[in-house]
Each structure stands twice: as C-alpha cells, then as structure tokens.
Chains A and B, each alone.
Chain A
Amino acid sequence: MNINRVLWSCAEDALQSLGRSAMYTVVWQINKMDVDTTPDNFDIQRFALALQSLFGEGSETIMNLIYRNLCRQLEVKAEPDPALPAIERINKVLEARKMNH
C-alpha cells in the first residue's frame, strides 16, 4: 500500500466537504504552490503548509478531517488531542505505522 496514495485520498475526501467545485479550485491553487498532488507523490507536509497559506487557521479543520479519514483508512484509533496540530497527529500515525512494519 502506497501511503502517499492513501493520504491523497484522505485529503481529497476532506476537501470535498467544501464542495466539488471548491475542491477543484483549491487543488489547482495548491498545485500552483509547487505541491505535487499526483497520488503517488503526494506530500502531506507541503500540502499542510499550502493549505494554511490559503485558509489561515481554518486549514486546521480540513487537516483534522484528513487525520480522521486517515485513522479510518488505516484502522487506527483517532486521538482527540486538540492541543496538538492535526499535521503532528498525522505524523504520529505515520511513524507508528512505520514502526509496526
């Protein structure tokens, strides 16, 4: 399983919560910030920075959705720790997955 592909599908689902049209335009603008959105090469760290640049603190909501989608896809329990930014929680999940492999 390519984890970048999984992360991209989680990000796509999260962005879709804004609406399909908004998702396309946000993805296009994120591409313009040199973030590769091809599923196999998707970089969640750069995506998080780009999203923050577009939405400010509001990006945290979308990153939280990505985190929840990721936990569901990898079948791990989501940790509701609001003090920790979503990208750090995503990184924790990814690290735990690496260690288990």
Chain B
Amino acid sequence: MRYSGFNTASVQRNLVISLIVSAAISNSLIIFSGEDRVVFSNWTINAAAAIALGISLLITWRQKLGGLYGKTYAAFTIGLALWFVAEMLWTYYELGQGIEEPFPSLADAFWLAGYGPFAYHLFMTFRFFGKVSKKHLFIASLGAAIFLAQLTGIILSTAESTDTMALAISIAYPVLDAVLIVPAIAVLASLWRGRLTFTPWVLLSSAILITAVADSGFAYYTAAGLDGMWVWDLFYNTSYMMAAATLFWHNRFFVFDEKRVKKVWQQENR
C-alpha cells in the first residue's frame, strides 16, 4: 500500500544512528574516565534517565490520560520518575556520602517500586494487542522461566555474603525483569510487522533485556563479591537511552501534532 505520510524509514535510520553515537560517546566517558569513573558513571546515567523521563513527561502532558496510550504512558512516566529518584539517591550515597556500593539502600525501594508501573504499561498493552499471540506468550514465559531458574542457581551457588536481605533484593531484580520481558516480547511479536510499531517495541524489548543482563550481572558480582561493578553501568546507561529512543518514537508518531501535520500539508500543496 502506498504511503505518503511521515517518513518512518528515515526517522528510524536517524534514531538508530543517534542512539549508537550517543551510547558510544557516553559509555566512552564511563570507560575512559579513570579515577573519576564514579562521578562520570553516576552523572551519565542520571542524564540518560532524565532525558527519558523528560520525553515521557512531555508525552503524558501532550496526549493526556485517555485511552490505552494515555494510561500506559502515564504509568511509564511514573516508573521512570521512581527510577530517576533511585538514581539520584544512589548518586547521593556514592558521591555525597562516599559509600562505595550503597547496596541495599533506600534507592532499591524506588527501583523495585518502579517495576509496578512498568508492568502495568506492558501488561495493559499486551492485553490490548497481544491476545492473538498466546503461543508467543508461552514461548516467552518459558524462556524467562529458564533464564530465571539458571540465574538463581548461579547466584545461590556463588554467594559469599550472609546478608539475606541483599541476596533477596539481588534476586528480585532479575525476577522482575523476567516478568517484564514476557509481555514485552509478546507485544513485539504482535506488532512486529507494523510500520509504526516495530521500532519502538524492538527498542523497548531490547532495553528491558539489557537491564535484565545488567541486573543479573550486578546480582552475580554482588553475591560473588567481585570488583569492576562499573561495567554494568554501561548497560544501565544504554538501556535508559533505548527507553528514551522508544519514547521519542511514540512522541513523534503517536501523539498528534497539528503544526507538523500542517507543515506536511503545506509542503505537499506548494
């Protein structure tokens, strides 16, 4: 079918290039910052989280709270706000208080609370779009369950720490990530062929997968008492950037912009 609307292919290309370049630059700041790494990693991640939260707030303000997208994107914004508070608290503990690995801490309460709104966003979207793909949901659930079972086994077998609370929180993150991955992949399977829906769902699913890898790595390093935790910051940073790219796409293609529509109309009728 002929399509003469927004150039989705060009936006997709530019978005991916921008994402790769900005991830490369910001992750390089973390990698090559040497002794100042703790400062750079904190503020790089905070900046990425703030950008994602900013776009999300803009979407919520522009599209209001009506309909599926109104509700699910408001929930996404709440989730990002909670995670942003958690990031700021982590920075405060690390840079302000000088605590090397502030884990577990109050920040974890905000991170864990953020999973609720994110789950709402994904499950509501799955309930709307995903009912045609029960097979995909089953495959995704099975994959997540296997992933989770293996991870829990590894963590428990290497744990040197006797802090049950820290261990429980370490395990909670990958478990909750697995819970998010299931509907994300199921929705992606449903919207895979859509010109408007492919890019944001590939990005969002990848962001959740990257977060899951980072959380699993973090949990493993914490339990095993390993050094070099900063490696996982690269993953968290990239994940926030991918979430921001997803939100950018939604803002561009799913939120009505009268001015832009007028501009396209004027260009066509010149």
- List residues of chain A with CB under 8 Å of any chain B CB: 16-26, 28-29, 31-34, 46, 49-50, 52-61
Q: Mark B181-193, 1 if CB is under 8 A from A, else 0.
A: 0000001011111
CA of A34 to CA of B256, assembled, Å: 19
CA of A56 to CA of B188, assembled, Å: 10
Residues of A close to B68: CB separation below 8 A: 17-19, 22
CA of A22 to CA of B64, assembled, Å: 11
The secondary-structure label for the interface of chain A is helix
- List residues of chain B with CB under 8 Å of any chain A CB: 1-6, 62-64, 66-70, 128-129, 131-133, 187, 189-198, 253-257, 261
Instruction: Check A18/B67 contact, CB under 8 A, given A53-B194, A58-B190.
Output: yes
Whether B191 pairs with A22 at a CB distance below 8 angstroms is no
Instruction: Check A21/B256 contact, CB under 8 A, given A57-B132, A61-B128, A61-B131.
Output: yes
Closest CB of chain A to B185's CB: distance in Å? 14
Whether B1 pairs with A33 at a CB distance below 8 angstroms is yes
Residues of B close to A29: CB separation below 8 A: 3, 5-6, 196, 253
Quick one: which of B64, B191, B195, B257 contacts A19, CB cutoff 8 A? Answer: B64
| Number of A-B pairs, beta carbon distance below 8 Å | 107
Residues of B close to A21: CB separation below 8 A: 62-64, 69-70, 254-256
Residues of A close to B64: CB separation below 8 A: 19-21
Task: List 8 A-B residue pairs with CB atoms under 8 Å apart, sorted by A's residue number.
Answer: A17-B67, A22-B63, A25-B254, A33-B5, A53-B194, A55-B129, A57-B132, A57-B193
Residues of A close to B256: CB separation below 8 A: 20-22, 24-25, 28
Closest CB of chain B to A87's CB: distance in Å? 14
Whether A22 pairs with B69 at a CB distance below 8 angstroms is yes
Contacts A24-B256, A33-B1, A57-B191 aside, 7 further interface pairs with beta carbons under 8 A come to A17-B68, A19-B69, A20-B63, A21-B69, A32-B3, A52-B193, A58-B129
Whether B194 pairs with A22 at a CB distance below 8 angstroms is no
Residues of A close to B4: CB separation below 8 A: 32-33
Whether A60 pairs with B132 at a CB distance below 8 angstroms is yes
CA of A22 to CA of B71, assembled, Å: 12
Quick one: which of A22, A56, A58, A60 contacts B254, CB cutoff 8 A? Answer: A22
Residues of A close to B133: CB separation below 8 A: 57
Whether B253 pairs with A25 at a CB distance below 8 angstroms is yes
Residues of A close to B257: CB separation below 8 A: 25
Whether A61 pairs with B132 at a CB distance below 8 angstroms is yes
Question: Which residue, A20, A26, A54, has most C-beta atoms of chain B within 10 A?
Answer: A54
Whether A55 pairs with B196 at a CB distance below 8 angstroms is yes
Whether B261 pairs with A28 at a CB distance below 8 angstroms is yes
Residues of A close to B190: CB separation below 8 A: 56-58
Residues of A close to B69: CB separation below 8 A: 18-19, 21-22
Residues of B close to A49: CB separation below 8 A: 1
CA of A61 to CA of B194, assembled, Å: 13
Give the nearest-CB partner of A82 in chain B.
B132
Residues of B close to A20: CB separation below 8 A: 63-64, 66-67, 256
Closest CB of chain B to A85's CB: distance in Å? 10
CA of A34 to CA of B5, assembled, Å: 10
Lowest 9 CB-CB distances: which A-B pairs, in order? A19-B67, A32-B5, A56-B193, A56-B194, A24-B256, A58-B129, A21-B63, A19-B69, A55-B194
CA of A24 to CA of B192, assembled, Å: 22
